[in-house]
Chain A
Amino acid sequence: MQKIEAIIQPSKLDAVKDALVEAGISGITIFEARGHGRQKGHTEFYRGREYAVDLLPKVKLELVVSDEMKDKAVDAIINVARTGRIGDGKIFVSRVDEAIRIRNDERGEIAL
């Protein structure tokens, strides 16, 4: 099993969710996040006042999928979230040892 963590633009969330559902993945956890990578903060002026935009709004998705589904999920996210501009986000993939459904103690991929 693989855990996929994706940090994407908030405006892409709905489209990414749809793409994942279409790819056969329905279990997703979503977090409101803030941060920056190479897309550094900047300063904005508003009616004569200055505001620092140091951390930018992002959305973080977490999903755990079977090994076979990993590439499908990653491709679905990339296809939709990519604009080609700085700030499109990142995807991190890591191995998951166990999954347990609390309700009935099912374990492994069946619990996903």
Chain B
Amino acid sequence: MSGVTERGAYERRMAEIRGLFESNGDGLRAIAARSALVDELVLRFWSDEVKTAPALGKGIAVCAIGGYGRGHLFPCSDVDLLFCIERGMEKPAKEPIRRLSQSLWDCGLQVSLATRMPGDCERLDEDNPEFALSLLDLRWLGGDEAVFFRLQDKSLAKLRSRDGRAIGVALARLTRERHAKFGDTLFHLEPNIKDSPGGLRDVNACQWLHGLRTGKRLILAGTAGQPSAAMEPKPVDPVHGDLLPGGELRDAVAFLAAVRCFLHYRHERDDNTLDWEAQDAASQQRIGLPVRTGERVDAAYWMRVYFRHARVIDKRLLREAETSGLQVEMPTAVRRYRAPDAAGFQVKSGVLELEPISAGGVDVALEPEIVLAAFRAMAESGASLSRSTEDRIVRAIPLLSANLEEGPGLWRGLAAILTGRQAGHALRAMHSLGLLELILPEFHGIDALVIRDAYHRYTVDEHTFVLIDTLHGMAAQPVVDRGKGRGRDGGSDGVREPRRELEEWRVRFGAILAELQNPALLFLASLLHDTGKGRVGESHAAESARLAQSVLQRLEMDAYDSGQVMRLIETHLEMSAAIRRDIFDAETVRAFAGRVQTHESLRMLTLFTYADIAAVHPDALTPWKAESLWRLYMATANQLDRSVDEERVHTRASTGGTGLGRKGEKIARVLALLPGREPQMEQFLEGFPERYVSTRSAETMLQHFEMAQRFAQDPFQMIFHHGATQSGSVVNEITLVTPDRPRLFAAMTAALAAWGMNVVTADAFANQAGVVVDTFRFTDTFRTLELNESERDRFLASMRDLVAGRSSVEKMLSGRRRPRRRAPRVAVETRIEFDETASSHSTLLQVITQDVYGLLRAISATLSDLGYNVEVALVDTEGEMAIDVFYLTSEGKRLTEEQEAELRVALLSAIEKNSR
């Protein structure tokens, strides 16, 4: 008998197995059947050899190892054989083993063959831990049984007792390395169902870890609680296995086994990539699903089933590893964390544990505040939840749902998680336990969602978490590579290494992150930016914005903050699109600046775009793209300061829908809010810079309009909004609506300074009729308004009096203690620049200097003392740098060169005096 003659019979039997699989879809039975078929073949070939040379019947054991040893032979998997031979049998066995191997190859099998003496298997070969792992699945096929038992009971027992721990450590390392190749996530658009995290190799890892720990095999039973006959332990197998518990893990293994069989038959080789075409075909045939007949299922739904099973396997592996004291995932950088007293949880050695259920049965897992604080601790420290804590949270979800209160408290809790350095780690855990969907049901639509896109590698939810990880990674300290000592321009060949270049770009963009006024808004927008992909709509950005609107309402965020989040979500694709255009073309920059409108929005969109590209695929962000992004950022930042005065609202053109695009739509919306009074509203909006319209909601503009109608009662109309605490500081907002008059801006800044307030951003606009809308966002240096709620009314009344000149600013200022000066972390050199080209009728003044208390008052008082009128003001702070832009006129005209020179001297003097 030879392989050539047997090939036809083998192929017929293989076709039968395939036919059975195609009719019943049972992958576990198919792989067991192929394993049994190969067993027959090997034994037949070997018995032929023994018949020819009876001496081979002693001293040689034929064994299966690896997947074949487990009785799992997928249709195109290799066959791993081990010939265990006694000393002295090497020579007589050599030729028969070669012939057997040849026969198997002739049958069409891919055979990996090893020959060892029992003693060779007693030690771990550090360079080949895979062989030791394959021995853990050893199975006797035939030959000398005594040799097999010597190998199993003596040599392998020694291997386990002496090197068991080392094998476990090697397995953990191999697993980490394998997972790293897949970005440490199971959420791939086209996963490899064997090697990806949550794949079949992880099931094997669970079995090996279990075996190393308990000395017993973890045996996979057949599907539907009906063990396959071929899967049951062989009578000769002296190691009684632990049967894999029923339920979700067994279902997951059965599912993956069916999918892998399907892929092998489809690809006709050992290719385990579940590509898009395979996903379509598998979903159409309902591969792995319990009910195989009926309507075809959607590929996205089928992939969600896959990811649910992969998650189960991933979690089981983590538990096996934890029980074995091994680490199979890349550790998060765990920082020391001390939970506050009565926090309801503890963090020890990187593991977070909720307090035990009290004797009275009170479970802190039912307290939303405690649970959110626990995830905040995870986000800040990188700690992981203990398995019992995970179980308790899962059980608590229904009651947590009833106890959860929405509103500012929930936003504070969520913001604290989002801004923690390990936010991605905490969010993934929340998502996996169902807590994220409890807080944000909008996220459910993108759970394990596969969107077919040639560039993306991850599912939509995982892409979101990678994006958030990337943003936090931008804040990390620069990585110093001392290896090659190259400067920024690289070596003599002028070529810079991409990795080094990317690190430089990361640091440069990371500096922008430090300049954000409220980073939590960027992270919230990032979390929600793709939620619209789970819905059918014209554009996912618009759908995401629509979903975000309801989230922001539930969190009761103020108009300014929610406006920032909404604008970022709506425009989140626009910077990526803009860098594909000519970024050196003024019109590209002007159009893009028109969409982002403010420096804060630009900073957020730039950071978002950088991280969004990086989160698409590990190689998606190239130095070339980073550089293009930076150029556009710079050009747009410059454009934003220089276009405000020129681009003004002309309501007839705007509502006619030409030229102003979305601004026109917004004007039409605000007019619709005032049926019958449209002409008055049009008159109010006429002549405001377009930026006023772009940066205010229709409701806010309506409020300003109503204030302007009350000038007869009080010409100094003000509204004050006390902000919520974010990242340890409160940003308040005050808006003044009043008829224009000299020194107004200076009066407001002086009044705020008199109350000890520090202006963070401000803008001042006026319409054609001379109605001024000045808005200041400021921090409360002495926390007067935060600690004394009753002071807020007095503050507003006092501001009115101070601005109206009814009380003395100077008197109040003289009694005001100045906050303690701190040495600046970054020294900023003062620069004063004038630009005559930005506006046709005013002079642009840009002051860049160290941000210190009282600076804006000092500058505006100087402008006012010299008699210059502030047409538009844009006040901004980036970290320790103040960037204030004013459009100035002198008696309705631009400043002369002499006036500019005089103003420069006066400003330098005022800034220097204020800084003392």
Chain A minimum-CB-distance residue to B508: A51
Of the listed stretches A20-28, A41-49, A71-79, chain B binds: A41-49
Q: Given A32-B625, A53-B631, A47 and B582 touching (CB < 8 A)?
A: no
Which residues of B pack against A, CB within 8 Å? 580-585, 588, 622, 624-625, 627-628, 631, 633-635, 637-638, 829, 831, 833, 846, 848, 878, 881, 883
Q: Is A48 touching B581 in the complex (CB atoms < 8 A)? A: no
* C-alpha spacing A53/B881, complex, angstroms: 23
Q: Is A51 touching B634 in the complex (CB atoms < 8 A)? A: yes
A34 within 8 A of B: yes
Which of A13, A48, A51, A87 touches B848 (beta carbons < 8 Å)? A48
Q: Given A48-B848, A48-B883, A51-B634, A11 and B627 touching (CB < 8 A)?
A: no
Q: Is B631 touching A47 in the complex (CB atoms < 8 A)? A: no
Q: Is A11 touching B637 in the complex (CB atoms < 8 A)? A: no
| Residues on B with beta carbons closer than 8 Å to the beta carbon of A14 | 580
Give per-residue flags for A5-45: 1 if the beta carbon is below 8 A from chain B beta carbons, else 0: 00001110110000000000000000011100000000011
Q: Is A10 touching B883 in the complex (CB atoms < 8 A)? A: no
| Residues on B with beta carbons closer than 8 Å to the beta carbon of A47 | 637-638, 848, 878, 881, 883
A108 within 8 A of B: no
Q: Is A48 touching B831 in the complex (CB atoms < 8 A)? A: yes
CB distance from A99 to the nearest CB of B (A): 26
| Residues on A with beta carbons closer than 8 Å to the beta carbon of B846 | 48
B-contacting residues, A40-87, CB 8 Å: 44-48, 51, 53, 56-57, 87
Which of B585, B622, B633, B833 touches A32 (beta carbons < 8 Å)? B622
* C-alpha spacing A11/B581, complex, angstroms: 4
CB distance from B496 to the nearest CB of A (A): 10
| Main DSSP-derived SS at the B contact region | mixed
| Residues on A with beta carbons closer than 8 Å to the beta carbon of B627 | 34, 57
Which of A9, A33, A34 touches B582 (beta carbons < 8 Å)? A9
Interface centre among A9, A11, A51 (most CB of B within 10 A): A11
| Residues on B with beta carbons closer than 8 Å to the beta carbon of A48 | 829, 831, 833, 846, 848, 881, 883
Q: Is A34 touching B624 in the complex (CB atoms < 8 A)? A: yes
* C-alpha spacing A57/B583, complex, angstroms: 10
* C-alpha spacing A51/B878, complex, angstroms: 18
Q: Is B625 touching A46 in the complex (CB atoms < 8 A)? A: no
Q: Is A44 touching B848 in the complex (CB atoms < 8 A)? A: no
| Residues on A with beta carbons closer than 8 Å to the beta carbon of B634 | 44, 46, 51
| Residues on A with beta carbons closer than 8 Å to the beta carbon of B638 | 44-47
The 6 closest A-B pairs by CB, nearest first: A48-B848, A32-B624, A11-B582, A46-B634, A48-B831, A11-B581
Q: Is B637 touching A46 in the complex (CB atoms < 8 A)? A: yes
CB distance from B637 to the nearest CB of A (A): 6
* C-alpha spacing A11/B878, complex, angstroms: 31
| Residues on B with beta carbons closer than 8 Å to the beta carbon of A34 | 624, 627
* C-alpha spacing A10/B576, complex, angstroms: 13
| Main DSSP-derived SS at the A contact region | strand
| Residues on A with beta carbons closer than 8 Å to the beta carbon of B580 | 10-11, 13-14
Complex A-B: 8 CB contacts under 8 Å? A11-B583, A14-B580, A44-B634, A46-B634, A47-B883, A53-B631, A57-B583, A57-B627
> Contacts A11-B588, A45-B638, A57-B628 given; 7 further ones with Cβ under 8 A?
A10-B580, A46-B633, A46-B634, A47-B638, A48-B829, A48-B848, A53-B631
* C-alpha spacing A92/B848, complex, angstroms: 47
Chain A minimum-CB-distance residue to B622: A32
* C-alpha spacing A13/B583, complex, angstroms: 14
CB distance from B833 to the nearest CB of A (A): 8
* C-alpha spacing A95/B628, complex, angstroms: 33
CB distance from A3 to the nearest CB of B (A): 22
Which of B628, B637, B829, B878 touches A10 (beta carbons < 8 Å)? B628
* C-alpha spacing A2/B631, complex, angstroms: 36
| Residues on B with beta carbons closer than 8 Å to the beta carbon of A46 | 633-634, 637-638
* C-alpha spacing A92/B883, complex, angstroms: 47
CB distance from A9 to the nearest CB of B (A): 6
* C-alpha spacing A32/B588, complex, angstroms: 20
* C-alpha spacing A34/B637, complex, angstroms: 23
Which of A44, A45, A51, A57 touches B624 (beta carbons < 8 Å)? A57
| Residues on B with beta carbons closer than 8 Å to the beta carbon of A13 | 580
| Residues on A with beta carbons closer than 8 Å to the beta carbon of B583 | 11, 57
* C-alpha spacing A13/B582, complex, angstroms: 11
| Residues on A with beta carbons closer than 8 Å to the beta carbon of B881 | 47-48
| Residues on A with beta carbons closer than 8 Å to the beta carbon of B878 | 47
* C-alpha spacing A97/B846, complex, angstroms: 61
Chain A minimum-CB-distance residue to B883: A47
Chain A minimum-CB-distance residue to B624: A32
CB distance from B723 to the nearest CB of A (A): 25
Chain B minimum-CB-distance residue to A9: B582
| Residues on B with beta carbons closer than 8 Å to the beta carbon of A10 | 580, 582, 628
* C-alpha spacing A51/B461, complex, angstroms: 37
* C-alpha spacing A33/B627, complex, angstroms: 11
* C-alpha spacing A47/B640, complex, angstroms: 11
| Residues on A with beta carbons closer than 8 Å to the beta carbon of B585 | 11
* C-alpha spacing A2/B637, complex, angstroms: 45
| Residues on B with beta carbons closer than 8 Å to the beta carbon of A44 | 634-635, 638
* C-alpha spacing A51/B881, complex, angstroms: 17
Chain A minimum-CB-distance residue to B579: A10
Chain A minimum-CB-distance residue to B627: A57
* C-alpha spacing A9/B588, complex, angstroms: 14
| Residues on B with beta carbons closer than 8 Å to the beta carbon of A56 | 584
Chain B minimum-CB-distance residue to A12: B582
* C-alpha spacing A14/B580, complex, angstroms: 9
* C-alpha spacing A33/B585, complex, angstroms: 19
CB distance from A82 to the nearest CB of B (A): 13
| Residues on A with beta carbons closer than 8 Å to the beta carbon of B831 | 48
| Residues on A with beta carbons closer than 8 Å to the beta carbon of B633 | 46
| Residues on B with beta carbons closer than 8 Å to the beta carbon of A51 | 634
Chain B minimum-CB-distance residue to A32: B624
| Residues on A with beta carbons closer than 8 Å to the beta carbon of B588 | 11
CB distance from A35 to the nearest CB of B (A): 10
CB distance from B836 to the nearest CB of A (A): 16
